[in-house]
Chains A and B, each alone.
Chain A
Amino acid sequence: MNFSALKIFKKNENILTIIIILMILVMSLISPSFFSLENTFDILRGATFIGICSIGFLFVLITNGIDISFTATATVVQFLMASLLLSDKNIPIAVILLGPIVVGGLLGALNGVLINWLKVPAIIITIATLNAYYGGIQFISGGNQLYGFPKWFTSFPRKLVLKVLNDDGVTIGLSSVTVIWILVCIIGFVILRYTMLGRKIYAVGGNTIAADRQGINVNRTRIFVHAFLGLVAGVAAIIHAMLTQTAAPNALIGKEFDVLTAVVLGGASISGGAGSIRGTVLGVLFVAILKNGLTVMAVPTFWHQIFIGLIMVASVATTATRTRLDKKKAGGVDFEEA
């Protein structure tokens, strides 16, 4: 087989793009209601929570870390924000929204600090904090939901950018929350690509020992990525509350694995050092489109999970095979003629 002709398949992102296009084609043929602007906007709005969290999760994964506690962090942020929102004292809107997000960042940073300090695998630390945060919320909330948020809050997702009229004469458009997702993506992209901090994140994930020898503060980089994940999880949590109009102690449980799936499908390596914003967005879109399409086609939910599971295995397998092939081809030294 001629590998150079298949160069387009060398990048995870390109394969994913092609698969997404194929998937859209197939689903549109089966179900005409799938391929519409309205459904597209719906998908983009619905995927915001996963989409925003996955950017933060990507940062952690690139450093060869892991953090599954961010949904619990998000739940804490959501509750805090909801309590402030429902309080009868006159709290400025900026405090109601930004205060809890900062708390999310601090809770995330705590993970990083604990991992550095105790030198225990991140998965163990974040399972522990996940349980602690969820337990705390259960205790404080007594298991009850908070709802009855003011109109300015719940109507925010219906503020539209790029408005169009659909066939029935209803205004549809890109939700403001999707715009926030896009902003988070841009911020993430700039950090990873154009700042020294971003390059340090890749460096730490690629070879921690080398990073240390080069004088990179590995611990600080680690704290940053966990704090960043906590921060964006906080933003996502507030958007989630806007969309569902409630804050429930168990609404986000399990979503950490949806995020993990999307990021890994997007080509980020679980062993660190690799991953991109573009791939992550594609991963999120892939999962969102698949779920939406299957729902439109009235396929039962458990099939969604089976599909996603199988696709993940296939994706990881192709990445692993390609890496092996690449390693085999690594060549000798090429010298200039003296």
Chain B
Amino acid sequence: MPTKNIIEMKNINKLYPGIQALNGVDFIIRRGEAHCLVGQNGSGKSTLIKILSGVEKPEPDSKIIIDGELCNHLNSKISMEKGIQVIYQDLSLFPNLTVAENIAFGSNREKHSKFVNWKNMDKIARKALDEIGVNIQLHKKVEELSIAQQQLVEIAKALTVELKLLILDEPTASLTKREVNSLFRVISRLKEKGISILFVSHKLNEVFEVAEQVTILRDGLKIGVYSPKELDHDKLVYFMTNTREDKNHPKPLEDDADVILNVKNLTKARNYKDISFELKKGEILGITGLLGSGRTELALSLFGMNPPDSGEIIFEKQEVKWRSNREAISAGIGYVPEDRMNHGLIMDQPIIDNITITTLLSYVNKAGLLEDGKRLEMLNEMKEELKIRMSLPEAAVKTLSGGNQQKIVLAKWLKVNPKILILDEPTIGIDVIAKNSIHTLIKVLANLGMSIIMISSEIQEVQTNCHRILIMRDGKILCEFKPDELTEDELLEKYNLS
């Protein structure tokens, strides 16, 4: 007789040195439901998942019941045997192996066979992909797939062993809107089979779309369990953070603000075509559109890294032809790339080295050597100003949370004090509070006269924080509008952005 609840966790406590990561949390997932776990960084949601997947052990007085069975001594092997599978954000696939082999790897190993049965492997993989209704070539190597496809391969892989609960950690962080929809279709198919889904997400609008129940954690405490109907965006943010979201629109521009940048008929083959727009001093210009719409390529061209084939860039009333980003930087352009882990920061290096890298020359003494005192001064100033939460200046950047990492990237550009700052997906994968403070900061900077180009896939983000918005598709500007002219839904409808 199957129980109603697949997971019952009672009075879960977890102490780390100095922190109570979880404080008496009760957590229930029903059979065949999609359950969402939300909370900021440090709220305890990753700890809860780690306990459920057997990676971490809770304090002794905690109780875990999986499918009606008390499992107080969970380890990762037992957890998997009980039918719990986790799909991590960084995925656990072998890029050099084929789709089929990746999917069938686990089930092949389970049989303890010493030899590989290639035919059977294809069968297992085909069956798993059919189950989620996805068609991916079995003999393609995983490294040739998009992130979205890779994720589906991973879900298919989870289906090859007995699956009762699938935990998805930030599954939509690097997907386009369309890919997210596809993922949700797969999730509802799994639900029909009676498989429960635990969904961890920062993206609040998705929470409402996919979940039947939402559990909110804050500072290791359970705030409550709600159905999405009882929540709205503002309420959820409030429960998660205990603060209200910054929903202020930027201050209107002065009518006589100077035009700082004028782009005319900018074209680059296979990137973008016939792009024209103006940017005024102190203006926040949003550019939105799907991934692959040419927006990043355009941004790189404005930053001197992807020279256009034809067209003009007029910066401060003069035509410029930057051939490298060094020229663009010295003219006063800053660029915060989308991929902060690979392009924005040197992850293994100290915070202090990262934050001062754009302005190194200003910390040298008369002998031409770097002075650490000056660098520390700059770091402390920025730490204060941007409320960066960090331990030691010597700690590697990768030890910071996503939000604080992004603040480091911003800080190193603020110090340069550019005239135009280009932000490519500035709040991707960071939590609400950090997002809030970045939005506030952007508006403050604009108010001080900095012009900002903000690229974002999140329409709501550009709607609230920009003076003017451009929509791009297939390398062209589709239209231009002011935030109050259209609502998000009208936009999605009209330009088919979903």
Contact = CB atoms under 8 A, between A and B. Distances in A.
B208 interface: no
A209 interface: yes
Contact of B116 (A195, A206, A207, A335): A195
A206 B95 contact: yes
B116 A194 contact: yes
B182 A194 contact: no
Contact of B146 (A193, A215, A274, A333): A333
A196 B116 contact: yes
B95 A335 contact: no
A199 B114 CA distance: 10
Nearest to B117: A194
Contacts of B93: 207, 210
Contacts of A330: 144-146
Contacts of A206: 94-97
A205 B113 CA distance: 21
Contacts of A120: none
Given A330-B145, A336-B135, A196 B115 contact: yes
A199 B101 contact: yes
Nearest to B145: A330
A333 B182 contact: yes
Contacts of B331: none
Contacts of A334: 134-136, 149
B114 A196 contact: yes
A251 to B, nearest CB: 36
A143 to B, nearest CB: 45
Given A214-B106, A333-B182, A335-B135, A203 B114 contact: no
Contacts of A333: 134, 146, 148-149, 152, 178-179, 182
Contacts of B77: 215
A335 B91 contact: no
Nearest to B146: A330
Nearest to B270: A328
B101 A335 contact: no
Interface residues of B, number: 34
Contacts of B224: none
A213 interface: yes
A338 B113 CA distance: 37
A155 B143 CA distance: 50
Given A193-B116, A196-B116, A326-B144, A332 B96 contact: no
A279 to B, nearest CB: 14
B133 interface: yes
Interface string A299-335: 0000000000000000000000000001101111111
A124 B144 CA distance: 33
A194 B106 CA distance: 16
Nearest to B176: A332
A202 interface: yes
A214 B92 contact: yes
A197 interface: yes
Interface in A169-220: 193-199, 202-203, 205-207, 209-211, 213-216
Interface string B89-120: 01111111100010001101100011110000
Contacts of A197: 114
B109 A196 contact: yes
A202 B97 contact: yes
Given A195-B114, A196-B114, A333-B134, A211 B94 contact: yes
Nearest to B179: A333
A174 to B, nearest CB: 30
Interface in A258-284: 269, 272-274
A194 B182 CA distance: 35
Contact of B148 (A193, A274, A332): A332
Interface residues of A, number: 34
Contact of B179 (A199, A327, A332, A336): A332
A203 B152 contact: no
Given A206-B95, A207-B92, A210-B93, A335 B105 contact: no
A338 B133 contact: yes
A330 B150 CA distance: 11
Contacts of B97: 199, 202-203, 206
Contacts of B134: 333-336
A207 B106 CA distance: 15
Contacts of A269: 96
Contact of A199 (B116, B143, B149, B152): B116
A215 B116 CA distance: 17
A332 B148 CA distance: 7
A216 B179 CA distance: 31
A267 to B, nearest CB: 12
A202 B91 CA distance: 17
Given A194-B115, A197-B114, A330-B146, A335 B92 contact: no
Contacts of B133: 335-336, 338
A114 B115 CA distance: 29
Interface string B439-481: 0000000000000000000000000000000000000000000
Contacts of B106: 214
A56 to B, nearest CB: 20
A211 B97 CA distance: 12
Could you say which of B108, B116, B149 has the most chain A C-beta atoms within 10 Å of its C-beta?
Answer: B116
Contact of A202 (B96, B144, B178, B185): B96
B94 A207 contact: yes
A214 B95 CA distance: 15
Nearest to B80: A215
B94 A273 contact: yes
Given A195-B115, A333-B179, A335-B135, A203 B105 contact: yes
Nearest to A200: B109
Contacts of B149: 331-334
A181 to B, nearest CB: 24
Interface in B114-166: 114-116, 133-136, 143-146, 148-149, 152
A193 B118 CA distance: 9
A104 B153 CA distance: 41
A335 B132 CA distance: 10
A303 B26 CA distance: 74
A97 B108 CA distance: 38
A206 B91 CA distance: 13
22 contacts: A194-B116, A196-B113, A196-B116, A199-B101, A199-B108, A202-B97, A203-B105, A207-B93, A216-B109, A273-B94, A273-B95, A326-B143, A327-B143, A327-B144, A329-B144, A330-B146, A331-B145, A332-B149, A333-B149, A334-B149, A335-B135, A335-B182
Interface of B: 77, 88, 90-97, 101, 105-106, 108-109, 113-116, 133-136, 143-146, 148-149, 152, 178-179, 182, 185
Closest 6 CB pairs of A and B: A273-B96, A206-B94, A210-B92, A206-B96, A213-B92, A333-B148
Interface of A: 193-199, 202-203, 205-207, 209-211, 213-216, 269, 272-274, 326-327, 329-336, 338
Given A210-B94, A333-B182, 18 more contacts: A194-B115, A196-B113, A196-B115, A199-B97, A202-B94, A209-B92, A214-B92, A215-B109, A269-B96, A274-B96, A327-B143, A329-B144, A331-B146, A331-B149, A332-B146, A334-B134, A335-B133, A335-B185
